Amino acid sequence: EVAVLRLGHRPGRDERMTTHVGLTARALGADRAVFPDNAGQSHETVADITDRFGGPFDVELTASPKALIRNWDGRIVHLTMYGERVQDVEGEIRSAHHDDEDPLLVVVGAEKVSFDVYEAADWNVGVTNQPHSEVAGLAVFLDRLFEGRELDREWVDADRRVIPMETGKRVESADADDDGE
């Protein structure tokens, strides 16, 4: 299992970023996203997209993100511009993750992340050591973790499916007898 924890959420201001952390986690192969419990609106948006475009993907709220980190039964990656270079540690993380045997928690921040998170993490990982965005960092990290395989993922229980095309937009409703397999 790969779960993504969004640490910190400023209502209003962070609504789109938290939503995009969830949508990116879903689109790029994570199994689950967990938001702080004041991010109900983002939770609703991500759950709604999952209903329409398929899963499996879970989005949850937690009253205590720090407890999730403390009690996590697996490895923890914290994405931070101060961390080790993703290209140096991705292999080690992949081996430890063992193709889903060992659950992996990927933590991304909003504003300043407290030092206990750096200490709780098995790896503090920088996607470059430049300041940018939790959404961008998460996307690159997941793509490295899955070595691109997430791009071929099949979606189940979708109401609709986008038909890729050179020009134009086509969205078809997924047939009742086609669960995406």
Residues in contact with ligand SAM by the rule CB under 6 A: 79-81, 108-110, 112-113, 126-128, 130-134, 137
From the CB of 81, what's the least distance to ligand SAM, in Å? Answer: 3
Residue closer to ligand SAM by CB (options 27, 136) is 136
The continuous run of DSSP H or E covering 117 comes out as helix 115-120
Residue closer to ligand SAM by CB (options 95, 129) is 129
From the CB of 158, what's the least distance to ligand SAM, in Å? Answer: 30
From the CB of 49, what's the least distance to ligand SAM, in Å? Answer: 22
- Distance CA(176)–CA(169), nearest Å, equals 22
From the CB of 109, what's the least distance to ligand SAM, in Å? Answer: 2
- Distance CA(130)–CA(99), nearest Å, equals 29
Residue closer to ligand SAM by CB (options 49, 121) is 121
Residue closer to ligand SAM by CB (options 112, 169) is 112
| Of residues 163, 114, 180, 142, the one with CA closest to residue 22 | 142
Q: How far apart are the first and last CA of the chain?
A: 21
Phi then psi dihedrals of residue 108, to 5 deg? -125, 150
